[in-house]
Structure 1
Amino acid sequence: MTCWPPGHRLSRTTASRPQPARGVRPGRGAPTGWREGRDVRSSGPTAIPRFIGRFVLPALFAALFAAPLWFMVVGSLRPAGWPPPRTLELLPPEPSVAAYARLPELIPLFRYLANSAMVVAVAVPVTVVVASLTGFGLRLLTPAARRRAVLGLLAVLLVPVTAVWATRFELFRLAGVVDTYVPLLAPALLAGSPFLVLLYTWAFGGVPDSQLGAARLEGAGWLTIWRRVALPQVRPATLAVAVLAFTFHWSNLIDPLLYLHSGDRYTYPLGLQFLRLLNPTDWPLLMAGCVVATVPCVVVFLLAQRILLNDDPLAALRSGGRR
């Protein structure tokens, strides 16, 4: 029975058939001529803030972080030898790739890139393995012991890197490994940074204790549980650690500057610094070198994003359980 408000006058059409409730859409068999109700939750004043938070703000943040990359590419496409522009240029006035062609002529570009690639190829897997093993070990501690370990890692994280440069250099000098890649790979043996260990510790905290206990009842050792049960469930954390480790070792300038003395062992960031000292006024040449240094990091980040978006978190666990 339909209740009408006081003073409402029923027309002949209105009185002949009941009206649908507000906010309810009629079914497929509803008579024609009914006005379909609208869902008040999908429209109204809340739609605009939702649109701003979902599209406008991410677009603004993306433009904010992409602007330096864009202006760097634009600066590298200026004619060779041109000075820096006085104002920001959205497009190069006379596009030219002469700066990229001159890079291999002034520095051994491909040797520097190969040296950096070799360091990264060793350091990134070692960092992932050491950080994940350490984080998994902290996950197995009691809550009180884990809390103390996390506080210790946070305390180490607060120590500035510059405070240990002299000590590290003296240790590597006494070990006789200066002018080798050992000092560049040594941070990977310590998981790179306490932050990466904490990241894995928090990620492994989401692995249920029931799965770890069931694996132990089946006779699996802790290394097997780490590899087949725990690690497949924290693939997003593994991708994040790999990207962070790649970015650090690829763009590391201080360690090669301190420990590498032979020019044939220079990594690309140190070679780029040498290029800046060699020709500090050629702005397009310097920007071209920066673009070459930035492209691998961007490519690795995009690949990690693609893997993460297309990843099935249970697929690796199922495949690991069938081995």
Structure 2
Amino acid sequence: MRARWLGRYLLPTLVALVFVAPLWFMVVGSLRPTGAPPPRSLEWWPAAPTTAAYTRLPELIPIFRYLANSALVVALAVPLTVLVASLSGFGLRLLSRGGRRRALTGLLVLLLVPVTAVWATRFEVFRLAGVVDTYLPLLAPAALAVSPFLVLLYAWSFGGIPDSQLQAARLEGAGWLTIWRRLALPQVKPATLAVAVLAFTFHWSNFIDPLLYLTSGDRYTWPLGLRFLLLLNPTDWPLLMAGSVVATAPCVLVFLFAQRVLLADDPLAALRPKGRR
């Protein structure tokens, strides 16, 4: 019983603390007086907490415009990423064993290709297409499922669906798109949540693509705004921590929401307001 308690509660709690600690100290740092240097020792809570750093953010950069731009990119890119990754993963599931092995090998090779190797080529393609300084280059990774890892995640999840179910659906006259939408996707909801969270995190925190392709200030996303904040006032530690909290909070909220939906006995119940169970 004790070993079970340790494995089920204590160890996961210790692992969670390792990841929560940086978030906590980031919040604590943002509550220090503006202009104050980083603490010399471990500070669990500031002596005189204040939200002055958060109120100064809109005075230095157009924070709400940058956040709205990031939200727009995420709202378009995350559904597209899930769509492409799930269709690709389902296509892998339908291949023969030999074809599936070759496709998986190709995806693993693509994972080894560094992103920096294609920056120059991609920029030239987008420049020739005349879409630089638009959001299309930022949505381009979503059209490729962001990463082969997300396709592999779906392929592994779809691999748990028995062949008998697919064959029965085909005998009933269902097309492959109908089978993907009505039979396969409902059985891999945890994979869909995981892909959606990972896609949200990638697109929300994407810094390189906006830096390469956006030139108009009114189109900048929040990662660029955070970089400008660092350039404007690199010594104001609480201000930088406040900007980091604003950048991190949406990812944390999305993760907690996805976890709540995933762990619910009835996943749809987690989406409905109380009183409508």
TM over 0.5: yes
Point out 4+ residue stretches in structure 1 off by more than 4 angstroms: 311-315
Aligned pairs for 1:221-300 (under 5 A) are: 221-300=175-254
Secondary structure, aligned partner of 1:191: coil
- Find the partner of 2:86 among 112, 132, 136: 132
Structure 2: how far apart are the matches of 1:62 and 1:313?
23
Query: What is the aligned partner in structure 2 of residue 165 from structure 1?
Result: 119
**Which aligned pairs between 1:201-240 and structure 2 lie closer than 5 A?**
201-240=155-194
Are 2:2 and 1:48 equivalent residues in the alignment?
yes
Larger displacement relative to structure 2 (56-65 or 196-205): 56-65
Between the aligned partners of 2:96 and 2:55, the Cα distance in structure 1 is 59
Alignment match, 1:108: 62
Quote the residue 2:260 is aligned against: 306
Provide TM-score, normalisation by structure 2: 0.95
Give the residue type in structure 2 aligned to 1:159.
Answer: V
Letter in 1 for 2:30: S
Q: How many residues align?
A: 269
1:237-282 CA distance string (max 9 Å, x none): 0000000000000001011111111111000000110011001111
Instruction: Please report the RMSD computed on the Cα atoms of aligned residues, expressed in angstroms.
Output: 1.4
Aligned pair partner of 1:122 in 72, 76, 80: 76
Code of the aligned partner of 2:143: L
Higher RCO structure, 1 or 2 (CA under 8 Å, sep 6+): 2
Q: 1:58–1:106: structure 2 CA closer, same or farther, 3 Å change rule?
A: same
Q: Which of residues 108, 111, 119 in structure 2 aligns to 1:154?
A: 108
C-alpha displacement at 1:48, in angstroms? 3.3
CA contact (8 A) 1:78 1:92 kept: yes
Describe the superposition over 1:205-261 as per-residue Cα deviations: whole angstroms up to 9, x where unpaired.
Answer: 011111111111111111000000000000000000000000000001011111111
Structure 1 length-normalised TM: 0.81
Shift of 1:49: 2.8
State, as a whole percentage, how many aligned pairs show the same letter.
79
Taking the aligned partners of 1:314 and 1:181, their CA distance within structure 2 comes to 33
Q: Deviations over 1:167-216 (max 9, x none)?
A: 11111111111111111000101111100001000000011111111111
Unaligned runs of 5+ in 2: 270-277
